[in-house]
Amino acid sequence: MEEFFDFINDIQSTELETDAQFDALTAFSRAVDGYAPLIFDLESDTAALSDVLNACQAVWKNLQYDRNMATVLVSFVHVSLQKFQFCFVQE
């Protein structure tokens, strides 16, 4: 997870041109942090069902704290994919 936040910090320091871009990246970072127990904390080849359920409980607690977390993540991915598609079509 440390690499992810290093990546976010690198982007924040070099490529953001508007407050909206900064806000979007911050929201995305917050959403990924909320889902971190499922994204980063599980070992894919050794996780037991109890590990997955514990990670889900942690994410559920994060969702209770930040009810917009899922919406923010989906919106960020949707906008990012649209931008990628636009760039791909232009080339």
pLDDT tens figures, 74-89: 777 776 666 655 554 5
CA angle 70, 52, 4 (to 5 degrees): 55
Is the entire prediction scored with pTM above 0.85? no
**Which residue ranges make up each domain of the chain?**
2-11+18-90
What does the alpha-carbon distance between residue 8 and residue 33 come to, in Å, rounded to a whole number? 12
Q: Dig out the tokens for 72 from the structure.
A: 């923010």
pLDDT tens figures, 20-60: 777 777 777 888 888 889 888 888 788 899 999 999 999 99
Please tell me the predicted confidence (pLDDT) of residue 16.
Answer: 62
Q: Dig out the tokens for 90 from the structure.
A: 């232009």
Roughly what angle, to the nearest 10 degrees, separates helices 49-65 and 19-34?
140
